[in-house]
Structure 1
Amino acid sequence: MRAWIMALAWIMALTCACALPAAAGEAKRAPFGTLPDGRVVEEVTLSRGGLTARILTWGALLRSLDVPDRAGKATDVVLGYKDLAGYMKAPNYFGVSVGRYANRIRAGRFSLDGKEYTLARNDGPNALHGGREGFDKRLWTVTEVKDGAAPSVTLRYVSDDGEEGYPGTLTASVTYALDSDGTLTVEYRATTDKPTIVNLTNHSFFNLAGEDSGRMILDHVLTIPAERYTPVDETLIPTGEIAPVAGTPFDFRKATPIGARIREGRDPQILRGRGYDHNFVVTNAPTADAHLVARVEDPASGRVMEVASNQPGVQFYAGNFLDATAVGKSGLSYRQSDALALEPQVFPDTPNRPSFGTARLDPGATYRNVITYRFSAGRSGATK
């Protein structure tokens, strides 16, 4: 009897020991490359619940994200480069944290408390994604790396007063974390020492068939629970109108293949964006809790991604300007519609459009954009 009890205890101990690694997550930190000035860029790898995410300190970017399909096979679903040289040569905003102001500001100008500020015009006549050297082209500092139930990494960047023309010293942070239910959470926070504007988001390009699949995202099925969107002019700056999606190619309230209307040449907005590159109005203002901003499914692999955020808008970009000049991690050149971006945000050009709300941040307040990407795998051809 005693021998049987000892054997049972040994089996139970072995079972518990084997179960622990599966239940816990892991975070690993390693050098990735060296900048021309000698500073080291690090990569932090997070693993948990079947997902593996790799984050670089350069641009606080998501370099890869392995997600299982319906058969359990994990594949990298975000665009990116195999080495640092790729990000330095042709960044394309792959996976980066963008700021101080994501998206476009008309004519690179805005006023705050009666003073006009001038920004770099790095997108035709307009300012885009924080300027020529926005947060995506800065080396962030790792402040914390955690193993355990929700492995995570937190990075920090301090933007000096006047950097790229923006007022105030802005202290920004981003935390990437993996949960057991197949969720990647990306949370941005920022504080300032004097009034400024801020709009931080993540610019990952997703292809749920796999970065190395060679397939476009036109068969991906998209849902955006927005009744309105912001039309743009010829330079992709919002006109100020908040228009209904009903009866237009921008109606994704019901699950629709991205390619179904992306070439609708009779719609001037499709022509101006060369497809989809527009902000969708999900709520009127930031909310206390995260809400669904988009759902994407790849029927072939079964992978489903649900994106939630506390921000009022989401920029849907269908990779219209990818031109096959960038060669990715798997050796494939990235072409038009090879991936999509869904960027939760305040609306583009909000500092010049009071009717859009506000992007203002004052001392003593904390800016927060929490984005969750929840992954699952459905049955063949299943949609909701």
Structure 2
Amino acid sequence: MRVDMLPFGIYNEESYVEILITNDQGVQIGFSDLGARINSWGVLKEGRFEQIILGYRNATEVFESPYFFGGTIERVADCIADGEFVLDGNHHILDCNEGINYFNRGQNGYNFNRFDFEIVKSENQIDIIFSYVDEEKGSSYPGDVTITVIHSFNNQNEWTVTYKATTDKMTIFNPTNHVYFNLNGNNSAPVLNHEFFVNADYFLPLEADGIPVGNEKYMKRTPFDFRTPHLLQDSLLVETPQLVLMNGIDHPFMLNQKEKVALRLACSETNYKVEILTDRPVVIVYTLNKIESSIDVWDNPLQSHSGIAIETQEASNAINMLGLGNIRLDPTEEFHSQTTYRLVL
């Protein structure tokens, strides 16, 4: 396995790097210290790498994009209703960035911060260990949180992301990665032709502002039922209230913990398949329903449904809704979670 360090550009006088790992199968994956992000995942075809995720050419594109492709999403991924929560009797108010609600901390999130890193090599795997201290003074959250994000890649074409975190004060923590897949290669077509499987019996319906309604909804005989694999277009083109409300899928799925493979994405036209294994109880699936800015990704224009985000985590707004999971982080504990994305060629 080989590691190459490339400049990822300069933005506001801060320089960034991209770390490229090429395994013995000729598959190449790229990470950056800007947001501890995954930025590329290429399969060698006819002398060039065909990208199966959405990414950026340089740091300027990251900062000037309205999208968070491949970034680490911080302390609490997705949404907190009304931008507030109560923790051990203390009321905390966040800086709302989506109307009256809070989503992903926007321009102040981990996605736009530079992480320190070290590289650890072994015969069959390379780990990039990113680290960052999220100080209380720089956020509305209580406590200083020390975060480690480990991106690993091996000769079995498995990318594993591991999160570890400790805090000096009771806080909340629920990270994820904002990777978007497009197995057509180089963003050449929408993902409507992808076959999708999710090992989940329930999903959470949403309000118009993206906040979960709160009650689990059985998926049988709805377009959200992917327990039997089928093409995304077979669901996305159905006009049901929840799909119309969000212009597609942007919903939490409550994963069953019985099977090792939680999700599977496949494209018959390229014969690429990705299997996802995770210890997280929830995955938010987002089919890139809203195009906020006309940009090119891998030299092809971004369009509706150009990618599908698969974000493993606890449920959205879990701190404010009983029964949706525990995102509290105690000073006596270490947070740990792990998700593996396995590329099958």
Normalising to structure 1: TM-score of the pair?
0.85
For residues 320 and 328 of structure 2, what CA distance do their matches in structure 1 show?
11
Matched residue type, 1:336: S
Q: Which runs of 5+ in 2 are unaligned?
A: none
**Among candidates 194, 211, 220, match of residue 194 of structure 2:** 220
Q: Does 1:102 align with 2:77?
A: yes
**Local SS of the residue matching 1:151:** strand
Matched residue type, 1:155: F
State the 1:323 CA deviation: 4.4
Q: How does 1:1-384 map to 2 (within 5 A)?
A: 25-36=1-12, 38-48=13-23, 49-67=25-43, 74-146=49-121, 148-213=123-188, 215-265=189-239, 267-283=240-256, 291-323=260-292, 325-328=294-297, 330-377=298-345
**Local SS of the residue matching 1:165:** coil
CA contact (8 A) 2:183 2:267 kept: yes
| Over 6 Å off, 4+ runs | none
For residues 87 and 261 of structure 2, what CA distance do their matches in structure 1 show?
31
Identity %: 28
Q: Considering fraction of residues, name the structure with more strand.
A: 2
Matched residue type, 2:254: V
CA contact (8 A) 1:131 1:164 kept: no
**Local SS of the residue matching 1:33:** strand
CA contact (8 A) 1:46 1:152 kept: no
Normalising to structure 2: TM-score of the pair?
0.95
**Local SS of the residue matching 1:85:** helix
**Local SS of the residue matching 1:261:** helix
State the 1:34 CA deviation: 1.6
Matched residue type, 1:154: I
For residues 147 and 46 of structure 1, what CA distance do their matches in structure 2 show?
12
State the 1:212 CA deviation: 4.0
CA contact (8 A) 1:324 1:335 kept: no
Q: Which runs of 5+ in 1 are unaligned?
A: 1-24, 378-384
For residues 268 and 293 of structure 2, what CA distance do their matches in structure 1 show?
25
Provide Cα deviations, 1:173-231, integer angstroms capped at 9, x if missing partner. 11111111111111111111111111111101110111242x11001000001000111
**Local SS of the residue matching 2:139:** helix
Q: Report the CA distance shift for 1:193/1:131 in structure 2 as closer, same or farther (over 3 A).
A: farther
For residues 322 and 306 of structure 1, what CA distance do their matches in structure 2 show?
27
**Local SS of the residue matching 2:29:** strand
Matched residue type, 2:105: G
Matched residue type, 2:131: R
CA contact (8 A) 1:97 1:200 kept: yes
**Local SS of the residue matching 2:296:** coil
Greater Cα radius of gyration, structure 1 or 2: 1
Q: Report the CA distance shift for 1:162/1:293 in structure 2 as closer, same or farther (over 3 A).
A: farther
CA contact (8 A) 1:227 1:281 kept: yes
For residues 323 and 106 of structure 1, what CA distance do their matches in structure 2 show?
23
Matched residue type, 1:353: M
Cα RMSD of the aligned pairs, angstroms, is 1.9
CA contact (8 A) 1:26 1:147 kept: no
State the 1:73 CA deviation: 7.7
For residues 11 and 301 of structure 2, what CA distance do their matches in structure 1 show?
24
CA contact (8 A) 2:286 2:309 kept: yes
**Local SS of the residue matching 2:7:** strand
Provide Cα deviations, 1:307-348, integer angstroms capped at 9, x if missing partner. 1110000011011012451222x3222111011000001000
**Local SS of the residue matching 1:354:** coil
State the 1:367 CA deviation: 1.1
